[in-house]
Amino acid sequence: MQLINEISFLIAQHVKSKIMPHFVIDCSENIIQLRSPEEIIDAVYETAEATELFAKGDIKVRIKPFTLFTVAGTKNDFIHIFGHIMQGRNTEQKADLSKRMVARLKSMFPDVPVISMNVIDFEKATYCNKAMV
């Protein structure tokens, strides 16, 4: 019985480590004139799902177009994705996630000069949501 409880605990921990990725897309407003916000959101969602790092129903994506910005002193278009994910992935997995995202957006926006992403871990110990209270 003890072994079954330990295995159940490990499985639950593994499942929890895959939850709650948030992908926030910052971009120049012109980006959503080139492609629809829905198309961009779907591309980010599908790319995140394809990594198999996250449970399909837990992936969250939102987009924030900006009218006021500067990029290295210019008004050139840009896309930057902030990936907020639960701790537990290694550096190689996070780097692969970033590379896949940038490659996907580069194929959609070949003329956009700045396309980038960073991944930020959040701690299980400090994470809380409505269901946990």
- How many structural domains comprise the chain? 1
Q: Which domain holds residue 86?
A: 2-132
- Runs of H (alpha helix) within 1-133: 2-17, 31-34, 37-50, 91-108
Say how far apart CA 68 and CA 19 lie, in whole Å.
Answer: 33
Q: What percent of the chain has a predicted confidence (pLDDT) above 70?
A: 86
Average the pLDDT over 27-49 and give the result.
98
Confidence at residue 105, expressed as pLDDT on a 0 to 100 scale: 98
Strands 60-66 and 22-28: parallel
Taking the CA atoms of 103, 54, 122 and 4 in sequence, report the sign of the dihedral they define. Answer: negative
DSSP 133: -
Q: CATH number, domain at 111?
A: 3.30.429.10
What mean pLDDT is predicted for residues 74-92? 96
pTM of the full predicted structure? 0.84
